[in-house]
Structure formats: C-alpha cells, structure tokens
A and B are shown apart, each in its own frame.
Chain A
Amino acid sequence: MLTFLGLTALLIKIGLVVGISQGAVAYLIYVERKIAAYAQDRIGPNRCGREFGVPLGLIQPLADGAKMILKEDVIPKYVHKTTFILAPMIAIVTATIGFAVVPFGPVGAGAPRLGADWPVQFQIAPGVDIGIVYILAIGSLAVYAVVLAGWSSNNKYSFLGGLRSSAQLISYEIPMGLSILGIVLLARSLDLNTIIEWQDRHGWGIFWQPIGFLIFLVSAFAETNRLPFDLPESEQELVGGFHTEYSAMKFGMFFLGEYLHVITVSFLTVILFFGGWDLPFVLSADQTSWISAIFKVIVMMSKVSMMIVFIMWIRWTLPRFRYDTLMNLAWKSLLPLGLLNLTVTAVLAQMILGG
C-alpha cells in the first residue's frame, strides 16, 4: 500500500524528473543552436549574459524562454477555439508522462538503499511490467496534438501539415514496435530495467539486434518529427506546418514537446540498444552501493547526451525526404525488414538459447 511517506517521495521524484527534463529542454535548444552554427561555419549565440559575466551566452535559454512567455498570444478569429487551445496541452502532456517508466539509474534489486529497508529507485514507477508498451501507448497519443492543431487552425497549410504528420506518425509506429520486439524476445521482458540487466549479463543490444537498432533509429527520427523526416513542418511547402497559427507560449509548448520527445527517444535507444547504465567490465547489476549508483546515473546520462547530439548532428547532415519516398521507406522497406528481423530472431532464440 502507498503510505504517506511513499506518496511524498513519489511526488518529489515526479517534480525532480519533470523539472530537470524541462530545464534540459531549454539547454538542448541552446545546444541545437550551437551545433547548427558550427555545422554552418558560424559562431552561434555567444553574447547573452556577457554583462553579468556569464561566458558563452549560457543564459540564452532563459532569454528564449522569457521571449516565448512575454510575446503576444494571438488566437485568430477563424480557429476552432477549444481544440486550438487543447492541442499544445496534449503535445506537452503526452511528451511528459512518457518519463514515468523510464529508468534513470539502477532500479529493483540493484537499487541503493537508505537505511535497511528503503531502496531508492531511480524511476518514477519502478517495476511496471509493461514498461515499453506503456511508452508506445503514450507515443501513439502524441499524434492527437498534431492532428488537432492542424485541423483547428482552419488554414490549408496547417491542415496539410497535420494530415501529413498523422499519416507519418501512424506509419512509423509499426516498424518501431517491430524493431523493439527483437530485443524484448531476447530479454524475455517488457520491463525496461530487466532489459538493461539482461544486456549487463549478455552484452549490449546493438550487437544482438543490429538490424533492429537501425529500424528503431530511423523510426525514432520519424516519430520525433526531426530532420530528415520533418515533413509536417517543411517550411518551403507548408509555411510552418501544423503550428503556423500558433504564437507565444502555445508555440513554445509544441517546441518543448518536440524536444521532450527527443529526450525520451534517446533514453529508449540507450536503454534498448546501448545497455542503459551498463559499462562492460566496470559496472554490473550486483553492485548496490551509492557510489556505483551515482556512477551508473552518470554513465547513463552521458550516453543519452551523446545520442541527443547525434540526433542534432544528423539534422545538419541529411536533406529532407520527399513525401512518397518517406511512405515507401516505412511500408516497403522498414516493415518487411522488421518482420524478417523478428522472425529470424524468434527462430534463432528458440534454437540456440532454448525454449
């Protein structure tokens, strides 16, 4: 039963995770601008905060945030008002609640303890047996934000952007689910922490499931609407896509939601294919001390940061897909490849690892 103390600890944990992830988003935008600048042989934001002695423009994110909040919030007369306001809320809520089952460090038997019988779990909801299915379920709700934003704006560019995006998100959910099934079959669990512990014992998922990793990575880019799959908001054709009519913090919420998705997807990639907190020959699930726990969290966060930088780097490397090639990639390449990968994995797992 949930005690009062447990409830307080849970609320603190939720506050920490939400606060840190939203703060991280602000600095991710800064990092993105810096990487974009280096990719284009510019310097990027470097002035903000120089008056206060802050180097490298490090308080640029605060200025960006203040700009978002203080700008005039325009709601055009011709929009469908309820859904117009609802859409950014859905975007940010679905992006935030996905973190409930993401482990940030050791969970379960490997968790460090406060005193004798109070394990500190580095996860909001530890031991959720369906972990990965929960994330897929939440991810499948994210499409509502885009569809409703596009439709309620009552504007052909927004509408076309919304339609494109919903087709894209629905299509790429299928190869994404298929690519995850391989590692789930091997680890014999849907729980993210169990998957990490399996990789700790048997080696990282990318060596067991290279094709699954490739399919997952491509689908993840499409699911987060990042380049080279950012067709919903392709500027040359659709002005701003589904968020053309949004301004001020409502636009900011879409922005925040997109970056939260990037963080979630990076966590998933690291957990499923790069061993989560695992570092071969150094860290294992048997270590339960506080030092090893903190080290595990640091390892995990560095891997996630590298993944995020990789995603931003790709943005400035590959040009955007055309719409029909995008759909062909999902349905004619990734889907058969995912099915093949799943079948081969199931047969090999049955024959080699035993029933």
Chain B
Amino acid sequence: MNINDYKDVILAGAVVIAGAIGAYLLLPHRHGLTKPTAARWIGAASGALSIALIMLFFTPPGAFLRTVFFYAFAILSLAGGGLTITSRDPVASALWFASVILATSGLFLLAGAQFLAAGTVIVYAGAIIVTFLFVIMLASKQGCAFYDRSARSPARATFTCFLLFFGLMYTLLIAKGDVSFGGLKTPFRGAITARDITPTTFGPPNKFGTAIHVFEKAIPRTSRLAPSQVVPAAGASASGIPPKHVAGLGGSLYADNLIAIEAVGVLLFVALVGAVAIAAPKPPVRSGASAGRATK
C-alpha cells in the first residue's frame, strides 16, 4: 500500500484530533469550576484549525459569490455548532443553535432547496428554539446555575462523538460519495468522478425483494414527475428567474412517498391528541375544595 492512498485519511484524522482537543478544552468544567484562560484560547485555536482543515474536503459550488456564501454558511454552522455545546450560558447556547439553523437553511438555499430552507427556519428557529428560550428564561434567574456551568463527563462524550465523526468521514472517503454539491472530495487524490459511484442494494435478497420493491408494488410510480417539474441544477435559468419547484416537491411527496406522508400525518395527529390529553385540567387535589363544590 502506498502512503499516498492514506494521505486523505491522515488529514481526516488531523481534523478529528484537532476538533476533539478543541471541544474538550472549550467544554465547561466537569464540576462547574472555571477553566484557565490559556486552556480556552488553546481550545479555540484548535477548534478553528479543525474547521479550517475540514474546509479542504468541501467542493465549492461554481461562481465566486456562491463560493463566498457557501464557505460563510459552512463555517458559521460548524463554529455555531461548537459554540452551542461549549457555551456556559444556556441562552447563548440557544442563540448559537439558532445561528446553526439559519446557516444550514442558507446552505439549503444555495443548493436550490428553497422550501426546505424556509421550512427549517419556521419549524426550528421560529418555533422550537423560541420555546427553548422561553423555558430557559422562565427557569433560570440571574446568574447561571451549577448544572448550566458544568458538563457531564466531557472527556467520554468528546471521545465518543469524535470517534463517530471519524468513522463517518472514513466511510465517506472510502465510499467515494457524490461530489456534485458540498460533498466530500479527497484533497490529495482530487475530486471523485461520477463513474466511481456504483449503485448498491441493501439487505439480503429474499422472495419479497428489497423494501423499495414492496413499496413499488403497493403504489406504482404512475405519477412520476413530468420533465418540466423536475428541478434542474441549482442556479437561475437563462431568464434570470429560478425554476419552479414547489410543485415538483408536492408531486413527489404525494405521489412517490404517499404512504410515508400519511404515516407521519397519523403519527403527528396521535401526538397532538396525546398532548391535549396530558394538558387537560385535572380535578382539584385538595379534598376540601372538591367536596365543597360537589355538595353545592
């Protein structure tokens, strides 16, 4: 085996190790004590190095402005993610989480997935994180509580997460994924071409075939999208107007993935009923109050 074949994996290892050191040093102390300032600076530098190194694996999309925005959103989402877990102020954590969501939806926009971007902002930034903030603000008075300032077994958590991260990167490098947008490229061996990708089927073949085939038998793909509705490559068409694709998305959701959509709908409805059942006002606990009302 040539050492050149392993250069990418070594670089991935450097990303993971620098990131792990940075995250561990930046995480709050195990017992809520203050860490020395030097440790935090080293941690920040190490984390920044890790983010800078992982940028080598990304393929910038096309034109100059798109590239600038791509790197800005990518760096913001990675750094925001790191700051979400390492800030000691829960409100700051929630705000960094919101910035991760916004940067991610920016990346969705660059990839041409407008509806997904807007949906992510509405659901996560607009509803879920606001609810987080609501609870945090009601719960914590001025000054952070002990459980906000301490991390639960930071060393083991860092080790596990970055081991998983390395596994992910290694698998992606080996599997030679699609590099059309934002996919991993190998910095040393150059970009992977489409011919490297071979379709694979998961699971052993049996008399029912794969799960996909079961679905295809249940719902024939009669309403496959017409070519006019298929989303072309990201970016504006010649007239400067981006192509329509919400119709395509709706067609795909309600034709190809009908069972999944209905299942999710039923699940959400059941959850809604359950929430109402839990939140319903209970009869008064004190016997005197209930007895008094009952006698009247």
Chain A interface (Cβ < 8 Å from any Cβ of B): 1-2, 6-7, 80, 82-83, 86, 108, 119, 126-130, 133-134, 136-138, 140-141, 143-144, 147-148, 151, 154, 159, 162-163, 166, 170, 173, 189-191
Contacts and interface: CB of A to CB of B under 8 A. Distances in A.
Given A1-B235, A134-B118, A136-B118, A126 B240 contact: yes
A172 to B, nearest CB: 13
B245 A6 contact: no
Contacts of A190: 246
B98 interface: yes
B236 interface: yes
B184 to A, nearest CB: 26
Contacts of B95: 83, 86, 148
A96 to B, nearest CB: 16
B125 interface: yes
B232 interface: no
A170 B115 contact: no
B119 interface: yes
A197 to B, nearest CB: 14
Contact of A151 (B131, B137, B241): B137
A141 B125 contact: yes
A136 B245 contact: no
A41 to B, nearest CB: 42
Contacts of A108: 241
A170 B65 CA distance: 35
Nearest to A173: B126
A103 B127 CA distance: 27
Interface of A is mostly: helix
A127 B239 CA distance: 11
Given A2-B63, A143-B130, A130 B246 contact: yes
B137 A1 contact: no
Interface of B: 63, 65, 91-92, 95, 98, 114-115, 117-119, 121-122, 125-127, 130-131, 133-134, 137-138, 142, 235-236, 239-246
A119 to B, nearest CB: 8
A191 B98 CA distance: 26
Contacts of B63: 1-2
22 contacts: A1-B236, A2-B236, A82-B92, A127-B242, A130-B115, A130-B246, A133-B115, A133-B122, A134-B118, A136-B122, A137-B121, A138-B121, A140-B122, A140-B125, A140-B126, A141-B125, A147-B130, A147-B134, A151-B133, A159-B137, A163-B137, A166-B130
Contacts of B244: 127, 129, 191
Nearest to B140: A151
Nearest to B116: A130
Contacts of A119: 239
A191 B91 CA distance: 36
A126 B246 CA distance: 15
B76 to A, nearest CB: 15
Given A137-B121, A147-B134, A2 B65 contact: yes
B130 A133 contact: no
Nearest to B114: A130
Given A134-B118, A147-B137, A129 B242 contact: yes
Contacts of A140: 121-122, 125-127, 130
A127 B65 CA distance: 20
A126 B242 CA distance: 8
B65 A128 contact: no
Contacts of A130: 114-115, 118, 246
Most chain A CB within a 10 A radius of its CB, from B122, B133, B242: B122
Given A137-B122, A151-B133, A166-B130, 13 more contacts: A7-B65, A126-B240, A127-B241, A128-B114, A129-B245, A133-B119, A137-B118, A137-B126, A140-B125, A144-B133, A147-B134, A148-B95, A151-B137
